[in-house]
Amino acid sequence: MAILVKHQPNCIVYEDDHLLVVNKPAGLNTHAPSPFAGEGIYEWLRHRQPSWATLATIQRLDKETSGIILFSKSTLANKSLTQQFESRKVEKEYLLLTDRSPSALAGRVHTGISRVGDKYIAGPIESADTEAETWFTPAGKTSLGWLIKARPLTGRTHQIRVHAASRGCPLLGDVTYGGTPFGRVCLHAERLRFQHPLSRQPMEFCAPVDFGADVAAPLRTAVIDTQATNAWRVWHAIPDRRPGWFVERWGDWLLSQSERDLTRSQVLELKELGEKWNITGAYHKRWLKSLRNQSFAETSPSLLFCKEGASKESPRPFVITEHDVKFEASFAEGYSVGIFLDQRENRRRFLQNHIAAGFPIRPQGLAGCEVLNTFAYTCGFSVCAALGGAKVTSLDLSKKYLDWGRRNFLLNGLDPSAHDFIFGDVFDWLQRFAKKGRKFEVIILDPPTFSQSKESGIWKAEQDYAKLVQAALPVLASSGILLASTNAATVKPEAFVSLVEATITSAGRKVLKRHYAPQPIDFPMNREQPGYLKTLWLHIS
């Protein structure tokens, strides 16, 4: 039986049978710009839980615009809200910040808007692609500049940004339209008023904003349920404007990673973060491109600072929570910490028996389901599948990690003796299972990019992943689920999907349903730092 996630992400403002109102953070698209470029807020919500599978987009916000966004959950709501927007009965109020004198930006701005390349320009209505109307009202001054309320009566792309720039007041951070560079485009959808599609009662939603806040923090707090999860990627290098620097929260600790030692200002920034969350201390480890021939000391994190009275020795193993599931973690095990945070959302899918909209792992639930977790490491996937009701076989080349996995089972009230833990080479055991006619309804393939064993020799994900899929298919039951994942950065998403599906087809089996899951939102990606984690969920005949 699926475990319903008890809490909702902080971005949810309101929900009923017809509506879902969300406070979208800056830095997150409304829709995914392309199939492999990360999820937009719409895709992330729609695929997150069964009750949101019917979500429809009523309005859109630019990636860098934060604030209230409305989705419909029913045909009635979709029809009613679309009509309200088209007839201009919905009242939208935005808040913007500019560092230019707003003397010319007050009252009504009514122009035509035309697209020129990647931008839009304001001009005469009669010669423009479309017309747009916005009302601006001064709203005070801050240390960063002037606040202005904007009420668009039409809903054209970049309308407020174009109108503000046309009056000599581009938004702070809106370099596209001549604004001063800043950490974000300072535009926020502050308020939304409309009629409920069923009751016709007036509804109003408002969300505050702090334009001076670091964009990375609101992005995480919007999509992570901090009541049930206390481990996530805090800063992800270039997309979070911190090139070469990765920081994670691990319960009461911070873990910093980079290729170099931290500067004094970086340590101070970590201390400020630690004070905000009442963190016990912070560790730092060098980000090594290769772990081969590296000593234990070189791969282990070192203490940066800790609270007064806290031990300065490597902390004993501690427990973190993820969707209310407990996992043991440790900074005293070399490069290993205990669980890969970037697989958080895929583990959640086992808890809910829900891969994506209209795509359960098993329609009848996981009870009695046989799951094989290859390269199990400390059995994070195994724990979540077992909590969902499955019987799990965890297979790994390390006895130490399998023992760690057993402890994770015990932490969550699961009896390890009710499940199988197998020490050995994955390829060897897949061959054994095939000879015995053993079948699994779900198989998890999440291998390291590089490994080596006596039985199979050297493994490299870039060149050997097809062999792994070939070896797994004979033990995957008919109408089974294959989770194929890799963090090999050199493998492009399109190539990975093609490789996995071509291997399945060449084995005489058919893909019945698929869902591609990119890395989670707290691991953002952009052109300078594209995504590395690729996951393909496949229902196979």
| Helix intervals (H) in 177-263 | 216-223
The pLDDT of residue 170 is: 97
252 an active-site residue? no
The pLDDT of residue 55 is: 96
The pLDDT of residue 121 is: 95
pLDDT for 213-226, tens place per residue? 999 999 999 999 99
Question: Cα–Cα distance between 118 and 62 in angstroms, integer?
Answer: 14
Query: Which parts of the chain sit beneath pLDDT 50?
Result: 1-5
Inter-residue contact 356 to 512 (CB < 8 Å): no
The pLDDT of residue 314 is: 64
The pLDDT of residue 453 is: 59
> What is the Cα gyration radius of the chain?
25
The pLDDT of residue 3 is: 43
**Which residues lie closer than 8 Å to 440 by C-beta, 6 or more apart?**
370, 371, 372, 393, 433, 475, 476, 477, 480
Q: Which of 16, 62, 446, 522 is catalytic?
A: 62
The pLDDT of residue 2 is: 41
Q: What is the pTM of this model?
A: 0.92
Domains and CATH numbers, the chain: 12-206 (3.30.2350.10), 228-319 (3.30.750.80), 339-540 (3.40.50.150)
Q: How many alpha carbons lie under 13 Å from residue 297 in its C-beta half-sphere?
A: 0
Inter-residue contact 10 to 394 (CB < 8 Å): no
Print burial letters for 458-477: b (CB count within 10 Å at least 16), e (below 16): ebebeebbeebbebbbebbe
Torsion of CA 414, 417, 419, 422, to 10 degrees: 130
The pLDDT of residue 287 is: 78
* Among candidate residues 183, 184, 137, 193, the one with its CA nearest the CA of residue 160: 137
